[in-house]
Amino acid sequence: MTIELLFWDGCPSHPKALADLREAMSELGLDPATVHVLEVRGEADAERERFVGSPTIRIDGPVPTERVGYRFFLQPPAMSATVAAITGLDAVSDHPGVDTITVHQGPGADLDWKDGSRNHIMAVVGSAEDYTELQAVNRLLHKEVTVTYADVSHF
């Protein structure tokens, strides 16, 4: 059995994921030192490794699939503010492969940077034919969706 943990440099979650993985392996009687840790460095590595996000834990390699599933979260900036408006959702929801867009913090929602990633603005869920299409959806999301804030307090 091959167990891998893949991550990109700067991923804040990979150290805890690795520690949790090694702990779970120990509890199952597996040698935690056998985890193969792989840093994904750029698009070429991501495509070759069929990397879906950081961190990724794989057992016996990537699972063959016909499409790449995704879930993008739009995070608020590091400040406290109130969401005033969200525009551009139609351009993203009309894109092939986008299954759902769920707004979690709509207009009027008070945001506090101390809530971290639990306070994401929205989630986009769908699938892409390949990693090039996955990147295109990510670019579309960042190009088309605009969140306007009011009552901004910087720290």
List the pLDDT tens digit at each of the 155 positions of the chain.
Answer: 899 999 988 888 889 999 999 999 999 999 999 999 999 998 888 888 888 788 999 998 776 778 888 888 888 877 778 999 999 999 999 998 899 999 999 999 998 877 776 778 999 999 998 888 888 998 999 899 999 998 887 65
State how far the Cα of 97 lies from the Cα of 67, in Å rounded to an integer. 10
Q: Which domains does the chain have, with CATH numbers?
A: 3-59 (no CATH), 68-153 (3.90.1170.60)
Instruction: Note the pLDDT of residue 114.
Output: 76
Which pLDDT score is estimated for 155?
A: 59
Of 81, 87, 75, 84, which is closest to residue 123 (Cα–Cα)? 75
**CA separation for the pair 45, 130 (Å, rounded):** 14
In single-letter form, the type of residue at position 102 comes to: T
Comparing CA positions, the residue from 65, 72, 120 lying closest to residue 95 is 72
pTM attached to this predicted model: 0.60
